[in-house]
Amino acid sequence: MQVAIVTGAAKPDSIGHAVALGLVEEGMQVVVADLYEQGFGTLPRCLCIRTDVSNPASVDAMVNRTVEKHGRIDVLVNCVGGSWGITAQDLTAPPPRGFRGLTNCTLDDWRTILGANLDATFYCCRAVAPHIKKQGGAIVNLASVAARKGIPPGAEGSSGPYAVAKAGVMALTKQLALELGEFGVRVNSVAPGVIASGRFTKVAAMTGPGAGPEGPLKQIPMGRVGTVAETAALIVALCTDDTSYMTGVTVDINGASYAA
pLDDT of residue 171: 98
Residue 259 within any structural domain of the chain: no
CATH number reported for the structural domain that contains residue 227 in this entry = 3.40.50.720
pTM above 0.85, yes or no: yes
CA 69 to chain centre: 24
Count of domains observed in the chain:
1
Assign 213 a pLDDT band (cuts: 50, 70, 90).
low
Residue 258 within any structural domain of the chain: no
Provide the annotated active-site residues.
162
pLDDT of residue 186: 98
**Do residues 6 and 73 lie in contact, with contact meaning Cβ atoms separated by under 8 Å?**
no
pLDDT of residue 155: 85
DSSP code for 137:
E
Assign 199 a pLDDT band (cuts: 50, 70, 90).
confident
DSSP structure string for 187-231: EEEEEE-SB-SHHHHHHHHHH-TTEETTEEGGG-TTSS-B-HHHH
pLDDT of residue 146: 94
Residue 14 within any structural domain of the chain: yes
Q: What is the number of other CB atoms lying within 10 angstroms of the CB of residue 228?
A: 21
| pLDDT value at 28 more than 90 | yes
Residue 260 within any structural domain of the chain: no
Residue range(s) defining the domain that contains residue 26 = 3-253
Q: Give pLDDT tens digits for 156-196.
A: 888 999 999 999 999 999 999 999 999 999 999 999 998 88
DSSP code for 115:
I
